[in-house]
Amino acid sequence: MENWNVILGVDVSKLTLDICWAEGNLHLKIENCTKGFNVFKKWCKIHQIHLKDTLIVMEYTGGYEYRFIQFCQSLSIPYCRIPGLEIKQSMGMVRGKSDKVDSFRISQYGEEKVRRLIPSKPLSDTVLVLRQLLSFRKRLVRENAGWESTVKERKHMYPVKKTDTIIQMAVAKIKANKKYISQTEQEITELIKSDHVWLQSYRIISSIKGIGKINAWMTLAYTENFTSFTDARKYAVYVGVIPFEHSSGTSIKGRKRVSHLAHKELKQELNQAAKTAMVHDPEIREYAQRKLRDKNYPLVLNNVKFKLILRMFALIKRGEMYVDNYRRAA
């Protein structure tokens, strides 16, 4: 554990940063850009805050914090990102909300939890670009699904002609988006090929039956090539495939169930991987058929997802490709 002299809480938004030192009762609002970061450095100098001995605590925002993170990394300023829900639940009952108040609460959280806070590892450029490309690809795919639904519904509801303007425009949009999706996927492929370590990891996990290119890309992006998650069970909790006990005393005796606090997108992609594996992987198919005798399908599907996660982490740890050497017992 490091001995930090100052814990700064930062509430991040698209255009501004609210920075607070709760113990010192100091607050600063700056622009979320280079100009604002220079103001922050001057503010620290005036108040004798030595950044090398300071821990900056901020929430995950999905991207708005990346500029500030790059600034921190350029000056070797330690920082850590915390899920917003964790900070919110640690505060108990609170009243009122503003950016200034939020930054104060984040700083308070850091001061209370300082013993267990570990500075985040620097984000690589590969991780940042890969997440951006995956996010953009997802937007294009969803947009195409909307246009395809429009075409289908219009053909069902109206006696449309080949020259129908709405159909023509929707089809043109779908065609253009498919082209952009292909270009985005090519960019992702080239990005992974440019780093032999990432390429090796991609080849390993995509050798598993059921794990296609999208699942492989997303796993690499959100485990940061298996550096931010080194334990399969912790990643499975993050994705939302580990059931937790739901009981209390003698009155509440619920079944174990997965938490809704999970990365829904990763979990959804793993659903498809598990379904594919249950069809094309003999070992998993027999495992699922055996489980289905006394368990319902969603639970078995969840078990298969966890099995795939265990395989990915085991193969990455050994640095080996998946080998299908399953032999059914006589």
Q: Are residues 104 and 20 part of one domain?
A: yes
State mean pLDDT over 254-279.
79
Q: Are residues 138 and 107 part of one domain?
A: no
pLDDT band at residue 21 under the 50/70/90 scheme: very high
pLDDT at 327 over 70: no
Predicted pLDDT at 258: 60
Closest CA to 237 of 322, 314, 305, 318: 305
Residue 141, CA atoms < 13 Å, CB-side half-sphere: 10
Lowest mean pLDDT among 8-12, 159-163, 216-220, 260-264: 260-264
Look at the chain and report how many structural domains it folds into.
3
Pairing of strands 252-258, 54-59: unpaired
- For 305, counting Cβ atoms within 10 Å of its Cβ (0-12 exposed, 13-18 middle, 19+ buried), the class is buried
Average per-residue pLDDT for the chain: 87
pLDDT at 249 over 90: no
Q: Are residues 105 and 142 part of one domain?
A: no
State mean pLDDT over 159-166.
84
CA dihedral 217, 222, 225, 229 (to 10 degrees): -140
In whole angstroms, what is the distance from residue 147 CA to residue 271 CA? 24
Condensed to tens digits (0 to 9), the pLDDT of residues 37-86 reads: 999 999 999 999 999 889 999 887 667 888 899 899 989 999 988 876 67
Answer with the one of 91, 112, 133 that is the final residue of a domain.
112
The answer to whether position 330 is within a domain reads no
Predicted pLDDT at 265: 87
Predicted pLDDT at 112: 87
The answer to whether position 324 is within a domain reads no
pLDDT at 245 over 60: no
Q: Are residues 281 and 241 part of one domain?
A: yes
State mean pLDDT over 254-263.
60
In whole angstroms, what is the distance from residue 191 CA to residue 24 CA? 45
pLDDT at 161 over 70: yes
Predicted pLDDT at 251: 52
Predicted pLDDT at 308: 95
Write the CATH number for 39.
Answer: 3.30.420.140
Residue 18, SS3 per DSSP: strand
Range of the domain at 290: 223-318
The answer to whether position 161 is within a domain reads yes
The answer to whether position 293 is within a domain reads yes
The answer to whether position 239 is within a domain reads yes
pLDDT at 1 over 90: no
State mean pLDDT over 128-137.
92
State mean pLDDT over 131-144.
94
pLDDT at 90 over 80: no
The answer to whether position 211 is within a domain reads no
